[in-house]
């Protein structure tokens, strides 16, 4: 049965014939609209016409088909956990699909061909994937630092963390996807089936379809981790050691790094790793030096294993050149390590400091430009201007772990190594947020002036089509072709502001 959904605000919807079961899942109440008009960034607002709460995947198929077949198609944005920075999951005057109202579940299986894998609803949070797979002694291999993000949200970008150098980003660890295209077609895709859609969607910023299921690679889960941080005074030596660590076989499971300076102390909302005394020691060195660099590594192990884990680590660390006396070790459960940011989030939430503006800048920097980046950005801008306490991340990854057929873009350079930078600012208020945003733009300009060919990760500062074309580089024409094929009416993920 068809019904006319009669909205109170937008006449373009009033003539839309929607099946009754779809119309009744569209909400225009102030709470739904307010949530869908805002995100983690707290910098940007865009009001949708309605919010859609699907119960099934076919509800979304009907919704997208209704838009696609309409003479005046409306925009549709899948919203995962809304942890974007400025409106990427919003749809001005369109419909926001609250993916988390689905319950696609998490199912662990095994096949001769794939080994262990999990079929996971696109709306699921990574923390729930972790908990469910651990019940089977298994876990995904590639993570983000924070686990309260959805499968669909991170696979639309890349999904990176300290494991990326070893396993590639999360998009490199997917066997298969179910996707609803911008025409409302439900398609299963993989490397061997509808492969163009598969590669397009992974890192595709939501432009080609809505992910409703992902088949994710699993491996045996460890139970514990050795978690170690080392301090460096010299950026060149710090990055050489990082690159050495990601080059050795059978070495570490996780390699990251960060910048510590007076205004950006050793403990921050990413984790309270250091004890009070150790933190004082590191912060005091940072005050003296102006800026120091913190290498962060992890080695997984099993509590019942006979493997001599400490000796193994000592063997790896003997080749490193961190400052003598500045190595700090912890031994924690695998879950506590992976879920480390949540612990800090809850503390900040109690103090009212989590729901504040987050003018983040995430970049991929070619290896050839990383030393200059340190001088011109970390030292000359971040340290001198001291506008926020960060945290500020810097760690290397390997090009060979990324699949160039996917939409995600990384720096164009022959070197296998490139760096990820995360300037994860929190601002006290909107005014501060704007000041930090201006600093981010200055950083982008400085990189352009000195010729560092960066790529924005979680891109948010492109305002023209030319900038997007430059961002995708050689991939742009394929990106455009895929858009014309899978979302010809430009319905999906308008908040990315590409088309
Ligand atoms: C505290 C914090 C820590 C973070 N740490 C990391 C990190 O370590 N590594 C990392 O890589 N990223 C990290 N991020 C960034 C994060 O991965 C992205 O912002 C991601 O998009 C957020 O997921 P979400 O579910 O909130 O997506 P949303 O913000 O809801 O959506 C993001 C984009 O994906 C689209 N989308 C959402 N669901 C789907 C779907 N099912 N199908 C198709 N498109 C969809 C949306 O339309 C939108 O364009 C972090 C973010 C936060 C807030």
Residue 458, ligand 1, Cβ within 6 A: yes
Q: Is the pLDDT of residue 7 over 80?
A: no
Residue 99, ligand 1, Cβ within 6 A: yes
State pLDDT tens for residues 152-201: 999 999 999 999 999 999 999 999 999 999 999 999 999 999 999 999 99
Q: Choosing from 81, 83, 167, 358, which is the catalytic residue?
A: 83
CA-wise closest residue to 125 among 149, 158, 95: 149
Percent above pLDDT 90 for the chain: 90
Averaged pLDDT score across all residues of the chain:
94
Interval between CA 14 and ligand 1 midpoint (Å): 32
Whole-number pLDDT of residue 2: 42
Whole-number pLDDT of residue 307: 74
Least confident of 18-22, 339-343, 392-396: 18-22
Dmax (CA) of the chain: 74
Q: Is the pLDDT of residue 268 over 50?
A: yes
State pLDDT tens for residues 79-105: 999 999 999 999 999 999 999 999 989
Nearest ligand 1 atom to the CA of 160 is 11
Interval between CA 409 and ligand 1 midpoint (Å): 16
Whole-number pLDDT of residue 318: 95
Q: Is 311 a catalytic residue?
A: no
Whole-number pLDDT of residue 183: 98
Q: Is 83 a catalytic residue?
A: yes
Q: Choosing from 256, 296, 437, 487, which is the catalytic residue?
A: 256
The more confident residue out of 306 and 359 is 359
Q: Choosing from 59, 123, 145, 243, which is the catalytic residue?
A: 145
Whole-number pLDDT of residue 265: 87
| C-beta contacts of 346-349 below 8 A and 24+ residues apart | 347/269, 348/269
Residue 168, ligand 1, Cβ within 6 A: no
- Identify the residue whose C-alpha is closest to ligand 1 atom 51: 83
Interval between CA 31 and ligand 1 midpoint (Å): 22
Mean pLDDT score, 319-346:
96
Ligand 1 pocket: which of 63, 77, 83, 125 to mutate (most atoms <8 Å of CB)? 83
Nearest ligand 1 atom to the CA of 492 is 47
Q: Is the pLDDT of residue 338 over 50?
A: yes
Residue 397, ligand 1, Cβ within 6 A: no
Nearest ligand 1 atom to the CA of 156 is 34
Whole-number pLDDT of residue 10: 47
Whole-number pLDDT of residue 1: 43
Percent above pLDDT 70 for the chain: 96
- Identify the residue whose C-alpha is closest to ligand 1 atom 13: 144
- Give the span between the Cα atoms of 250 and 240, in whole angstroms: 19
- Identify the residue whose C-alpha is closest to ligand 1 atom 53: 83
Length of the chain: 499
- Give the span between the Cα atoms of 310 and 459, in whole angstroms: 40
State pLDDT tens for residues 23-60: 899 999 999 999 999 999 999 999 999 999 999 999 99
Interval between CA 449 and ligand 1 midpoint (Å): 30
List, in sequence order, every residue forming a beta bridge with 254; answer none if it has no partner: 298
State pLDDT tens for residues 202-236: 999 999 999 999 999 999 999 999 999 999 999 99
Q: In 248-365, where does DSSP find H-type helix?
A: 276-289, 309-317, 334-338, 340-350
- Identify the residue whose C-alpha is closest to ligand 1 atom 3: 146
Q: Which pLDDT band holds residue 6 (cuts at 50, 70, 90)?
A: very low
Residue 159, ligand 1, Cβ within 6 A: yes
Residue 475, ligand 1, Cβ within 6 A: no
The more confident residue out of 13 and 91 is 91
List, in sequence order, every residue forming a beta bridge with 209; answer none if it has no partner: 181
Interval between CA 347 and ligand 1 midpoint (Å): 22
CA dist list (Å): 232 to 110, 257, 458: 44, 10, 29
Least confident of 39-48, 180-189, 306-315, 479-488: 306-315
**DSSP for 342-377, written as a single string:** HHHHHHHHHTT-SSS----EEEEEEGGGHHHHIIII
Q: Is 256 a catalytic residue?
A: yes
Mean pLDDT score, 62-78:
95
- Give the span between the Cα atoms of 299 and 426, in whole angstroms: 30
Q: Which pLDDT band holds residue 413 (cuts at 50, 70, 90)?
A: very high
State pLDDT tens for residues 113-146: 999 999 999 999 999 999 999 999 999 999 999 9
Q: Which pLDDT band holds residue 270 (cuts at 50, 70, 90)?
A: confident
Whole-number pLDDT of residue 303: 84
User: Any idea what DSSP says for residue 82?
Assistant: -
Residue 133, ligand 1, Cβ within 6 A: no
Q: Is the pLDDT of residue 481 over 80?
A: yes
């Amino acid at each position: 049965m068809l019904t006319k959904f009669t909205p109170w605000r937008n006449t373009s919807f009033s003539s839309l014939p929607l099946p009754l079961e779809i119309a009744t899942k569209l909400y225009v109440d102030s709470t739904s609209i307010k949530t869908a008009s805002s995100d983690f960034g707290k910098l940007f607002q865009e009001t949708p016409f309605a919010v859609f709460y699907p119960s099934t995947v076919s509800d979304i198929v009907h919704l997208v088909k209704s838009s696609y077949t309409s003479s005046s198609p409306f925009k549709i944005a899948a919203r995962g956990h809304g942890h974007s920075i400025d409106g990427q999951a919003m749809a001005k005057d369109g419909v926001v699909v609250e993916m988390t109202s689905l319950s696609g579940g998490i199912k662990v299986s095994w096949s001769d061909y794939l080994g262990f894998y999990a079929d996971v609803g696109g709306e699921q949070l990574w923390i729930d994937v972790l908990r469910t797979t651990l019940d089977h002694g298994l876990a995904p291999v590639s993570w983000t630092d924070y686990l309260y993000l959805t499968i669909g949200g991170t696979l639309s970008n890349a999904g990176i963390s300290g494991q990326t150098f070893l396993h590639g980003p999360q998009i490199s660890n997917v066997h298969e996807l179910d996707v609803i295209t911008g025409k409302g077609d439900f398609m299963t895709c993989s490397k061997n089936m509808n492969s163009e859609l598969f590669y397009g969607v992974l890192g595709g910023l939501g432009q080609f379809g809505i992910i409703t299921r992902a088949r994710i690679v699993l491996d045996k889960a460890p139970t514990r981790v050795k978690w170690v941080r080392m301090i460096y005074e010299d950026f060149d030596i710090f990055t050489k050691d990082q690159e050495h660590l990601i080059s050795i076989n059978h070495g570490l499971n996780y390699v990251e790094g960060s910048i510590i300076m007076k205004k950006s102390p050793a403990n921050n909302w990413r984790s309270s790793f250091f004890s009070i005394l150790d933190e004082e020691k590191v912060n005091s060195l940072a005050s003296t030096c102006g800026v120091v660099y913190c290498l962060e590594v992890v080695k997984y192990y099993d509590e019942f294993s006979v493997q001599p884990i400490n000796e193994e680590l000592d063997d790896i660390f003997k080749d490193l050149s961190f400052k003598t006396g500045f190595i700090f070790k912890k031994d924690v459960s695998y879950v506590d390590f992976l879920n480390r940011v949540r612990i800090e989030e809850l503390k900040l939430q109690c103090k009212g400091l989590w729901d504040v503006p987050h003018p983040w800048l995430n970049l991929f920097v070619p290896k050839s430009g990383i030393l200059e980046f340190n001088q011109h950005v970390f030292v000359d801008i971040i340290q001198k201007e001291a506008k926020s306490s960060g945290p500020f991340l810097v760690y290397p990854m390997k090009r060979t772990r990324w699949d160039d057929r996917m939409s995600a873009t990384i720096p164009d350079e022959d070197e296998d190594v490139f760096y990820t930078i995360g300037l994860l600012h929190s601002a006290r208020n909107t005014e501060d947020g704007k000041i930090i945003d201006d600093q981010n733009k200055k950083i982008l300009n400085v990189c352009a002036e000195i010729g560092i060919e960066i790529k924005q990760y979680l891109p948010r500062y492109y305002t023209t089509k030319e900038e997007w074309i430059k961002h995708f580089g050689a991939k742009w024409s394929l990106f455009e072709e895929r858009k014309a094929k899978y979302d010809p009416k430009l319905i999906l993920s308008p908040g990315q502001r590409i088309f």
